[in-house]
Structure 1
Amino acid sequence: MKNSILSIIIFAVMLVLSNEVAAQKFPGLDKSPMDAATYPSSYRVIDKKVKVIYSRPQLKKRSLAKLAPAGKIWRTGADEATEITFYKDVVFGGKEVKSGTYTMFTIPGDKEWTVILNTSTNVWGAFFYNESDDVVRVKGTVSKANKSIEVFSIVFEGEDDTFNMYLGWGDTIVTVPVKG
């Protein structure tokens, strides 16, 4: 009887230890969590025209000018560079763009931002940005937000095949028209 109790105890201890070894360690929420924006934005629509995958940095009492300096290339979010996928050919900011996935960079400015679609995908930040990989550069118009936007955001709004992409952060909203 002592041997069976001892065997059960040893088995229980080994079982507990084996779970400890196999336990996974999952990271907490990222400081700039990844998100996606689509058009149409309804999840029930199967025939999407565009999807953007990006990370959402927060101002946290910092200035937009410090985080996305005017005149300098910016990854348009945080962490990995923002990727935009067009599911069919579109006119983006007045320029024709073939369907496919591109990295989206921006160059902030006071009255307009340059929005860049680039063929280099799966890149971290703008550290390896190469202008020779640009597909198009378009101008996005700048307007003031009614209230400050704490977390960098991208949304699409419009009707049917004519819509706008909006980038919002701080008191800045950048608008790029899209037709698809």
Structure 2
Amino acid sequence: MARYLFTLYCLVTSLTCWSQEFKARSSPLDVISMRYKESYVKITYSQPQKKGREIFGKLVPYGKEWSPGANEAAEITLTKDITMKGFLIKAGTYTLFTIPDKEKWTIIISKDVGLWGSYNYNPKEDLIRFDVPVQSTGDLIYEPLTLKFDQRNDVANLLIMWDRTMVTIPIKFIN
């Protein structure tokens, strides 16, 4: 009985510590996903908040690699092959990086996974790289960094929105 109570005590203590650590994050974890037939796409990232700060060009410098989010680098998992802006990406898990600029962002899909932010970004691990234009959201301000899929059957757009900035990345499922 004592061993049972000790095991239960250890389990509860571990879960409580893990729960408190998870709640302490100022940039909460978020997961977005979409499906088409047997294809599934999931992106895991953390959502930093604007908090009155100037985001692009200051907090997120122009011309420097950035994985959208905070904490761990944003990862995209595919169960089937897709194309992004016409570039083939095979099923698997990858890291999403960007290089923000005023007029365009460079989107990078990297084979390197399990990274913390973009600190250890290695261009030799790039699978694909392409540019997308920057759009303004006008008066709409996205307080948290928000990633969202806008899907219509076998085509979709990945929207990355923060502050008054948005980029759209075209995705197509391959049957």
Q: Classify the TM-score, shorter chain.
A: 0.7 to 0.9
Q: How many residues align?
A: 160
Structure 1 residue 30: Cα displacement: 1.3
Structure 1 residue 140: Cα displacement: 2.1
Give the distance between the partners of 2:117 and 2:9, measured in 1 at CA.
38
Give the distance between the partners of 1:19 and 1:117, measured in 2 at CA.
44
Backbone CA RMSD of aligned residues:
2.1
Alignment of 1:128-143 (within 5 A): 128-143=120-135
Give the distance between the partners of 2:129 and 2:146, measured in 1 at CA.
21
The SS at the match of 1:125 is: coil
Does the CA-based 8 Å contact 2:39-2:80 persist in structure 1? no
Does the CA-based 8 Å contact 1:39-1:50 persist in structure 2? yes
Does the CA-based 8 Å contact 1:141-1:176 persist in structure 2? no
Q: Structure 2: which 5+ residue stretches go unaligned?
A: none
2:58 is the alignment partner of 1:63 = no
Structure 1 residue 137: Cα displacement: 0.5
The one-letter code sitting in structure 1 at the alignment partner of 2:66 is W
TM-score, length-normalised on structure 2? 0.84
The SS at the match of 1:49 is: strand
Equivalent residue for 2:100?
A: 108
The one-letter code sitting in structure 2 at the alignment partner of 1:97 is I
The one-letter code sitting in structure 1 at the alignment partner of 2:42 is K
Do the aligned partners of residues 122 and 114 (structure 1) sit closer, same or farther apart at CA in structure 2, a change above 3 Å counting?
Answer: same
Equivalent residue for 2:149?
A: 156
Q: 1:39 aligns with which of 28, 34, 43?
A: 34
TM-score, length-normalised on structure 1? 0.81
The SS at the match of 1:64 is: coil
Structure 1 residue 114: Cα displacement: 0.6
Equivalent residue for 2:25?
A: 30
